Structure 1
Amino acid sequence: MSGELEAAAADSLGHLIGRRRKAPPPGTPCANCGAELQGPYCHVCGQTADTHKRSILRLIWEAGEALFELDGRLWRTVPDLFLRPGRLARDYMDGRIVRHVPPFRTFLVALVLFIFAAEHAAHEETLSNARRKATEIAALKTPAGRSVAAGKIRDEAGTDLAADMTEARKDRAEALLDPDEKPGHAAAAYDRTIAKAEARYRRRIAEADRAAQGLAPDNAEAAVGEARTGWKAGLRKATANPDYYWSVLFSWGQRTAILLLPIVGLTLALVYRNRKQVFIYDHLLVAMNLLSFAFLTNAVGLILPGQLAIVWFLALAVWTPINLFQTLRGAYGSSVLGAILKTLIVWTTTVVSFGLLLLGLMVFSLNQL
């Protein structure tokens, strides 16, 4: 299996470096073993005769040629990936690869495009936040703008105080219903919670008064407030600086996207554990197809504007499990009922795993602020 993976990686690298292998002039010695070359590869040691010494423009041309032509295989592979994924996966598993783009290369290109799309979305979000902040700063230069900002802070402070007091009363009532809880302890815990909530409220009101006067926030007071709110400190920082938070989240999310490949591959191996003739490598091929589809379609959604992106992702919520069903039925020859059941298992496992990864990334990103 490792040899096949290395061959796939080498094939991908070869196409990224340059596609055409031209025979060297007669009598040219091999740079590695010195044998007289009789073609684009040495017949003794197997090393290519290509030195890869090209101009920058030539490298750019060959890279584009490799990505967009691929001897016509791209135009056979992509439609199958979206419309006939089962047939494509079956071709890969049966070794009919020459007619298609190698699955490992398709997976890498799809992942790179997804990363670029995610970076684009993060950049657009940063620009949007910058425009919003510029508007807020311009508004704070006027008395009316400062009054609105201060009023907003006071409203939010009042809402938070009411929510904290409601939660404190609920916790006290639950504690008093516990026969093992002493009433004095419940009352003391309630008083401490209320005191903290009122202290936060006073700090927010002081912040609103400073905003009304056009003064900057008191950083010392803000630091004390964050230290006393525990895990909420990171959340407050993320709310205050969402562009930086999303940049951290996207940065780590791109690194962990590759983890979905072993997760999906192992899930397929578990649901098809009775297929002795199917090996882990075959499951990874199918997983590459599934994730290539997911990365490419989500990349499209990330670059679409506003409402169109929402419609696209809603459509993907239906299209993705259908694509999974078609893949499992075509690749493994499952019955309709069997493919449906296994689709539910693989889909649920992948969504839950992705959700846990995303949740872990969100918490981790909060700690990085």
Structure 2
Amino acid sequence: MKELEEAPVRFCANCGAALQGEFCHECGQSVHSVLRPVSHMLEDAGDIFFHMDERIVHTVPPLFTQPGFLTLEYFSGRRVRYIAPFRLMFVFCLLAFFFVHVAVNDMATRFPAIGDDTGAFAHAKTPDEVRQLYESNIENLRITEADADVPEQAKAGFRTARAAMRASADARLAELKAPPIAAAPDAGKGAATPAEKEAGRGKDDDSYYDANDDWLNSPSNVSFGWLPDAMGERLNHSIDRFKANLKQMSMGGDVGNEAVHRIVEGIFGVLPPTMFIMVPVFALILKLFYVFRRRLYMEHVIVALHSHAFLFLALLILMLLGFARSALQPHVAIAASGIRLVQWAIAIWMPAYLLLMQKRVYRQGWGMTIFKYWLIGSVYFWLLGFALVIAMLIGLSH
């Protein structure tokens, strides 16, 4: 009869502790080697980012169809079978903004860029064609600028575009060895102020706009006494980049397209971090409105993470359905119409989902829930709008 032999003891390669399982109880290192086939490495990469296992099946369907279910499961301590809230929100946020970015770039290729009319001068064959094209475009700008409903900020942009258009036309005329476009007379369509008349310039004279657009060409010197010098210099540098982007956009052509592309890239570069900042802000709003429910701030953070994860998942589905509808529209119009109905249903489900989630998680009456839902939504809407404006300004100075 054979005697029982004691099993050999394995030791952790990192700290030398005796192993009793697949992980060291002292330092936590796995007993499995990292030197494995590529297929195992891809498996690990998927697990790091999204736990590519049965957790997806247990997490994604209830996230989209059962408001508040995952949040209540977390509050009850049942967490192992579900994807962590932050990882869930993080992945869907990146995926949603990626496909929104793709859609925006697709629209940019279908429609002409802003200010692209100035690039048309390069295709003019004769000086007369250049002048006709210039007069046609400048007349459209004059009509738009004369509209009283157009804000002054937009008119400043028209002035810049007007000066850039004349510069492009004069450059093409110089290439054709023709005289430049003459300045418009003072008795034009726009009335001049007394100071302008004294200076001998009218609002139809392009030199008027050049003089009033000196701020685009001059270096910024904004100073705030309460800001450190380094932050003040960075702010002025950002303003200078903002001016440079505006000037390049008004020039049109390849330069204008490059400026638009740079601005779009800058905006989408700051949108995901902006949304990550808004999650704890939304949790703080929930904490203030439900302060008497005696819930910890981290509970509200989980609610905010699951809410944003659902919104990003819904946005992702809407974008994918939009791509499918665009592809099917020329060939199967009925299927495209069906997809549009599904998109409308999802758009209606998004606010309804958040209301039902708020009701199930905080367990108040319908009247109080709807009232707080409206107040919380209003506060968060304005804060989100402000954050998105800041993100757009950062993108403009990219």
TM-score interval for Structure 1 and Structure 2 normalised by the shorter chain: 0.5 to 0.7
Distance 1:202 1:328 in 2: 52
8 Å Cα contact 1:154/1:204 also seen in 2: no
Residue 94 of structure 1 deviates from its aligned partner by 1.7
| Residue identity in the other structure for 2:288 | L
Deviations 1:108-153 (CA, angstroms, capped at 9, x unpaired) = 2112212422442354355446899999968852549857742442
Instruction: Pick closer, same or farther for the CA change 1:254–1:107 going to 2, 3 Å.
Output: closer
1:296-346 deviations in whole A, cap 9, x for unaligned? 222334453487899887655533221111111111222222221221122
For 1:1-369, list aligned pairs within 5 A: 27-64=9-46, 70-125=52-107, 127-128=109-110, 140-143=122-125, 149-163=133-147, 203=163, 206-207=166-167, 209-210=169-170, 213=173, 226-228=213-215, 235=246, 237-238=248-249, 240=256, 241-276=259-294, 278-303=295-320, 304-305=322-323, 317-368=347-398
Which 10-residue stretch deviates more, 228-237 or 100-109? Answer: 228-237
Q: State how far apart, in whole Å, the 2-side matches of 1:151 and 1:54 are.
A: 70
What is the alpha-carbon distance in structure 2 between the residues aligned to residue 281 and residue 45 of structure 1? 28
Is 1:89–1:330's contact at 8 Å kept on the other side of the alignment?
no
Counterparts in 2 of 1:199 and 1:235: CA distance versus 1, 3 Å: closer
* Percent pairwise identity: 23
**SS at 1:274's partner residue?**
helix
Alpha-carbon separation, structure 1, partners of 2:158 and 2:386? 35
Verify the 8 A CA contact 2:124 2:130 in the aligned structure 1. yes
Query: 1:49 and 1:204, CA in 2 relative to 1: closer, same or farther beyond 3 A?
Result: closer
Which amino acid in structure 1 is aligned with residue 296 of structure 2? F
Q: Does the C-alpha gap of structure 1 residues 214 and 326 become closer, same or farther in structure 2, counting only changes over 3 Å?
A: farther
Match in the other structure for 1:180: none
In structure 1, C-alpha distance between the alignment counterparts of 2:151 and 2:53, rounded to whole Å: 65
Tell me by how many angstroms 1:272 deviates.
0.9
Q: What is aligned with 1:192?
A: none
Letter in 1 for 2:309: S
Unaligned runs of at least 5 residues, structure 1: 1-24, 169-195
Shift of 1:159: 2.2
Q: Is the 8 A contact 1:76 1:99 kept in 2?
A: yes
Judged with a 3 Å threshold, the aligned counterparts in structure 2 of structure 1 residues 343 and 246 are, in CA distance, closer, same or farther, namely: same
Report the TM-score when normalising by structure 2. Answer: 0.64
**What is the RMSD computed on CA atoms of the aligned residues?**
4.5
Query: 1:48: how far off?
Result: 2.6
Q: Is the 8 A contact 1:290 1:324 kept in 2?
A: yes
Return the letter of the residue paired with 1:295.
Answer: F
Q: Distance in 2 between matches of 1:198 and 1:112?
A: 36
Gaps of 5+ in 2: 1-6, 182-206, 218-238, 251-255, 327-335
1:232-251 CA-to-partner distances (Å, cap 9, x unmatched) read 95656456443222222111
Shift of 1:288: 0.5
Write the letter of the residue equivalent to 2:166: A
| Distance of 2:104 and 2:150 partners within structure 1 | 37
> 1:237-292 CA deviation, whole Å, 9 max, x = no partner?
4564432222221112232121111111111111110011x211111111000010
Do the aligned residues in 2 keep the contact of 1:249 with 1:361 (CA within 8 Å)?
yes
Question: Compared with structure 1, are the counterparts of its residues 253 and 199 closer, same or farther at alpha carbon in structure 2 (3 Å cutoff)?
Answer: closer
- Whole-angstrom CA distance in 2 between matches of 1:330 and 1:133: 51
In structure 1, distance between residues paired with 2:81 and 2:276: 26
| 8 Å contact kept, 2:23–2:29 | yes
CA distance in 1, matches of 2:292, 2:362: 11
Structure 1, 283-292 or 325-334: larger mean CA deviation: 325-334
Q: How many residues align?
A: 315
**Structure 1 SS opposite 2:306:** helix
